[in-house]
Structure 1
Amino acid sequence: MNQVAYCHSLFYGTSAAEDLATLLVDSTGGEMAKAFFISSGSEAIEAALKMARQYHLEKSPAEPSRTHFIARQQSYHGTTLGALSVGGHLARRVLFEPLLSTNSSHVSPCYSYRGLQDSEHVQQYIHRLEDELESEIQRLGPQNIAAFIAEPVVGAALGCVPSIQGYFQAVRRVCDRHGALLILDEIMCGIGRVGPEPTARFPKPLHAWQDPSVGVAPDIMTMGKGLGGGYMPIAAMLANHRVIDALRSSSGAFSHGQTYQGHPLACRAALEVQRIIQDEDLVGNVRKQGALLERLLKEQLSSHPAVGDIRGQGLFWGIEFVADKGSKAPFEGKEAVAMGVHELGMKEPYNVSLYPGTGSVGGKAGDHILLAPAYTATEADIRHIVATTTQVINHYFQKYGKVYVLQSRGDKPRTAGR
């Protein structure tokens, strides 16, 4: 701050922004070429959408008809109008539908708990999702598609749902076949949050797409949250060499800008966060403690009658609640189960924030909570988190279970508790 508090990056460069960009580009193993820094995840998505559009205008030959984006149902990409338009979270869209762009459409998410049919093998499910994306592209016209956008591990909208291995390879095939870009939104799940597994190509992985479960590199990616660790508001959009080369050979610039892009203090804070993550191997700790978190959550809560699914990766886990475990029937939206669990957890003696989410079933019903412990969490921390979460869930359904079951099913009383 004593060196430079602020300067507009249209006219000035700073070592903080340059060094952070170098670190992040290097972390992609040569896949990404440039980084663009802004202040929030929604801004990063806006930049990604505009970058995709500009790419199709400036590549050779140009394709100005490519203005349509395909995303997934039960997805969330931000609150600004562009980001909200590509998102598939009905509750967050509903108030602003008349203002949202019509150049976006949505296909089914890779959500095996509810999407995988009993008669299907995993590969059949992947092929069905691939065919659905292909059909949507054909419906709209391949020449009109700018990009497909998705979260490698879905965050708020579905509650920590990882992709099935092979799914994103199928998506990549479809995109490449029709000249559409692939945008991966890692605002929640990125920067080590899911503890990506090391491979020969990525011995120190940082990004969710580097995990073998994803296995493909995006053309454009976004990141936030874990980038600056909350110390300063910062997010980023990264673009690969194909995209940057198209701009370099034409206008030579990204036609976009915001006052606080590349803010030196935010970039310097993020740079220090990333150096600590590397120096202290915090992604390794995420993998280690994440394995413990998974095991303990499933041991303590898998048999709970109101817990339908426990899913996630690394230190990013979701618990989905159901009114009936066998049929997977959700609680009615008006019952606000996830918010009730969250509010109970915030009270004494629990003092824990269990991030609530709704809309996992049809965009309106369906309740889940998210757990996202700090990268520095110890074994003792994880055990405390799981014990506290279990106590909150047991308390909530022991106290309110009969009421909810009666309202949801209209049959004989039975407790959704112990």
Structure 2
Amino acid sequence: MTKEIDNSAVLHRNTHFVPKKAIGGKGSYIFLEDGTKFLDSTGGAAVSCLGHGHEKVNQTIVNQISQLAYCSSAFFTTDVAEELARFLVDSTGGRLSKGYIVNSGSEAVEAALKLARQYYLELPTPQPQRTRFIARKSSYHGTTLGALSAGGHVLRRQPFEPLLSTNTSHVSPCYAYRGKEDGETDADYVARLAAELDAEFQRVGPENVCAFIAEPVVGATLGAVPAVSGYFKAMKVVCEKYGALLILDEIMSGMGRCGTLHVWEQEDVVPDLQTIGKGLGGGYAPVSGLLIGEKIVRTLDKGTGVFRHGQTYQGHPVSCAAALAVQTVIQEENLLDNVRIMGAYLETRLRARLGDHPYVGDIRGKGLFWGIEFVKNKVTKEPFGPEMTVAGHIQATGLDPIFGISLYAAAGCVDGTRGDHVLLAPPYNVTKDEIDIIVETTASVLDHVLV
């Protein structure tokens, strides 16, 4: 243990690594104590959708704190909570009819899983046998025990397996780069995955399943992998066949990150429950949420009327104010258009600069959410050995003041332990010049590490 760690009262994420101290931020940049002007090309973990120091959002937060910083949702509601929920419901065209505002993505997933279960208990003819969930391998839904149980993140699950619920089983993700067979069409690939999901319903007993949960674009575990066209339509058909719910986890990919406010809009596959998070409040306050379909709301209302779940800071006025301000800015500044335009430009630049790189296997994503997967052999797609910690080395190199860029690294995209990738997720108001800097700096980091 180093002296620096001894002198810090914070249990950092890694006791062997003392993070550099950030002292300010503006736009796409964070300013560090050592004088580094750091290009935040990942928005943390795809969080900072407006960048840093947006004055309108900052002022809105100050105004809310001055008016009312906190009140318990067990006793009161607030104008700002009502306005945020109304905005979110209206943004779905009313197809999801209520919003439930909490703090973190893990909390939103916990609420989704519990509400899915309670829905079946509240039906006129209750179905208490529905206790199971089906999720996907190489998925990530959060770190709390319920969310971790639902996810398929091998490394994060590993130490806690004895504590995790055993009521979730996992099917293959829609990961065309590694899952699609040679000569297989997208339609055939989708049909094969739908048959696999159907078989899993049959294996565990279709009458026992509450819901199928999946990320429309897989973030941390696979590196911005979008589903092929038609995939989620096919998955919803299987769910409806057996009376199960569809939960879409858009915590990382949603709220504009992929070019539409909700990713499911792009194929018009409306979930029964949808989790939202990172782009909701852009990091200006801790906030996430659960959007709920009308049939679930109606069933609860005709039953007990009580969702047996609650948290001290749900619907927190300051968090709601921050989220509403962020969403207002996105609308007023037409930033979803910019996400689509700059996203297309980012894709073009990445493919032109890195497509022929000998160790870049795949470049994939949507909007301003892109992943780069690294391989030892482009032809066989053989990954680097996990002992080489390639992605971690790339991230650490980017943090060097020589480069001054964030590259969100993760490992295990092949089988949970092998496979390296990095994510890029710049803010929605990113400029063309900044995209050029992100691509060139990323390429410089890769050339430095992968030689």
Aligned residue type for 2:415: G
Aligned residue type for 1:380: D
Q: CA deviation at 1:107?
A: 0.1
Deviations 1:377-397 (A, max 9, x none): 011111111111111111111
Q: Which of the residues 250, 254, 262 maps onto 1:207? A: 262
Match of 2:58 in 1: none
**Is 1:42 aligned with 2:97?**
no
Q: CA deviation at 1:120?
A: 1.3
Match of 2:232 in 1: 168
Contact 2:190 2:231 in 1 (8 A): yes
Q: Which of the residues 263, 284, 289 maps onto 1:231? A: 284
Q: CA deviation at 1:253?
A: 2.1
Task: Indicate the SS of the match to 1:146.
Answer: strand
CA distance in 2, matches of 1:301, 1:61: 57
Deviations 1:141-195 (A, max 9, x none): 0110000000000000000000111000000000000000000000000000011
**Is 1:349 aligned with 2:391?**
no
Aligned residue type for 1:139: R
Task: Indicate the SS of the match to 1:361.
Answer: coil
CA distance in 2, matches of 1:223, 1:135: 29
**Is 1:83 aligned with 2:147?**
yes
Asked which structure has the greater RCO (Cα within 8 Å, sep 6+), the reply is: 2
Task: Indicate the SS of the match to 1:36.
Answer: strand
CA distance in 1, matches of 2:125, 2:223: 41
Deviations 1:310-343 (A, max 9, x none): 0000000000000111000001111110000010
CA distance in 2, matches of 1:150, 1:370: 19
Deviations 1:236-271 (A, max 9, x none): 011010110110110112111000000001101111
Aligned residue type for 2:272: D
Match of 1:271 in 2: 324
CA distance in 2, matches of 1:303, 1:175: 41
Match of 2:304 in 1: 251
Q: CA deviation at 1:60?
A: 2.4
Aligned residue type for 2:217: V
Match of 2:421 in 1: 368
Q: Which of the residues 69, 73, 77 maps onto 1:5? A: 69
Q: Which of the residues 267, 284, 297 maps onto 2:350? A: 297
Q: CA deviation at 1:98?
A: 0.1
Q: Which of the residues 384, 396, 415 maps onto 2:437? A: 384
Match of 1:141 in 2: 205
Identity %: 56
Unmatched 5+ residue regions in structure 1? 197-205, 399-418
Aligned residue type for 1:259: T
Match of 1:411 in 2: none
Match of 2:385 in 1: 332
CA distance in 2, matches of 1:108, 1:147: 16
Deviations 1:266-313 (A, max 9, x none): 101111101111111111100000000000000000101100000000
Deviations 1:356-399 (A, max 9, x none): 0111111110000000001110111111111111111111112x
Match of 1:218 in 2: 271
Task: Indicate the SS of the match to 1:45.
Answer: helix
CA distance in 2, matches of 1:167, 1:225: 24
Match of 1:412 in 2: none
Paired residues, number: 387
**Is 1:119 aligned with 2:183?**
yes
Contact 2:408 2:423 in 1 (8 A): yes
Aligned residue type for 1:29: G
**Is 1:187 aligned with 2:230?**
no
Report the aligned-residue RMSD: 0.7
Contact 2:255 2:280 in 1 (8 A): yes
CA distance in 1, matches of 2:387, 2:277: 32
Task: Indicate the SS of the match to 2:203.
Answer: helix
Match of 1:101 in 2: 165
Q: CA deviation at 1:59?
A: 1.5
Unmatched 5+ residue regions in structure 2? 1-64
Contact 2:256 2:262 in 1 (8 A): yes
